Structure 1
Amino acid sequence: MTTSQDVADYLTTLIKRSGKTQALIARECGFATANMITMLKKNQSKIPLGRVPALAKSLGVDPGEMLNHCLQAYEPELYRVLAGILPAMLISQKEFKIIQALRIASKSGAFST
């Protein structure tokens, strides 16, 4: 089970990997100050779900992957409901492209049953 500390650690790793300053990331995500990024890294605040797309873009990661981490940690009941009803919503863009390619291949007859 993913915890809020796991999300904070994930975010810290992504920030280090990005090579960007916290001030730049904060600006790109619409946060008033870099202090918010520090609070997220220290697990003193949750990533606002509405900021996930901008934060993921700033850090160069798939927004679906980041949302997955956040929902599992912050809203586990909602995550379980969504995973049961709309599992396709909880996959990354790369995974979705693979699924699309499989669907195209199966329609073309590349896979026979």
Structure 2
Amino acid sequence: MTTQKAKRISVADYINGAIDLSDKTQRQITQEIGYENPNVLTMIKQGRTKLPINKVGAIARALGVDPANLLRIVMLEYMPDAWQVISEVMGDRVVSADESALLDLAREETKGIGVDMGDPDLVSDLRNAFRAHHERAAANPRSPVPATKRGAAKH
């Protein structure tokens, strides 16, 4: 059995999706992250300027997204070698709030028995559940799934 490596979302696509889901203006977001000029955020959204690492927490708070997940996306795109070292040393223990909630759910539902990821039926069931979730999210125009993945044109 071959495994296909999942395509990673870019920082620009992630930020665009989060802004689309936000009820804030670009000017409000820009001010909350400590910039005076909204053009900086526009350049980040377009991928013309990198999101500074020291702004990850501020923009995550402003957009209401998980800072650990945003940090992972930023590091994988901008500094993959550094992220690899961090992952090797830390055992990739940086988990997002959503990932932590999945772990809690697995522990609750298995009643402490554990999960056998070597069970092909279990893996298939989990993949199908995640695919169904993704399809529902992709059909929702306010979904964090990038518009390009939904088949819509980018704005």
TM-score, scaled relative to structure 2: 0.59
Q: How does 1:58-73 map to 2 (within 5 A)?
A: 58-73=62-77
Q: How does 1:55-94 map to 2 (within 5 A)?
A: 55-86=59-90, 87-89=92-94, 91-94=95-98
**Is 1:7 aligned to 2:11, yes or no?**
yes
Q: How does 1:28-47 map to 2 (within 5 A)?
A: 28-47=32-51
Give the C-alpha shift of residue 33 in structure 1: 1.2
Which residue does 2:20 correspond to in 1?
Answer: 16
SS in 1 for 2:93: helix
Give the C-alpha shift of residue 95 in structure 1: 2.9
SS in 1 for 2:49: coil
SS in 1 for 2:17: helix
Give the C-alpha shift of residue 97 in structure 1: 5.5
> Any stretches of 5+ residues in structure 1 without a counterpart?
104-109
Indicate the structure with greater helix content: 1
Give the C-alpha shift of residue 94 in structure 1: 3.7
> Any stretches of 5+ residues in structure 2 without a counterpart?
1-6, 115-155
Letter in 1 for 2:93: A
CA distance in 2, matches of 1:61, 1:2: 17
- Paired positions, count: 107
CA distance in 2, matches of 1:50, 1:99: 28
4+ runs of 1 displaced by more than 2 Å?
A: 93-103
Letter in 2 for 1:88: R
Give the C-alpha shift of residue 99 in structure 1: 5.2
CA deviations on 1:14-35 (whole Å, 9 max, x unpaired) are 1011021110000110012111
TM-score, scaled relative to structure 1: 0.79
Larger Rg: 2
CA distance in 2, matches of 1:14, 1:111: 36
Give the C-alpha shift of residue 88 in structure 1: 1.1
**Which one is further off, 57-66 or 79-88?**
79-88
Give the C-alpha shift of residue 98 in structure 1: 5.7
Give the C-alpha shift of residue 101 in structure 1: 8.5
Q: How does 1:86-105 map to 2 (within 5 A)?
A: 86=90, 87-89=92-94, 91-96=95-100
Letter in 2 for 1:63: P
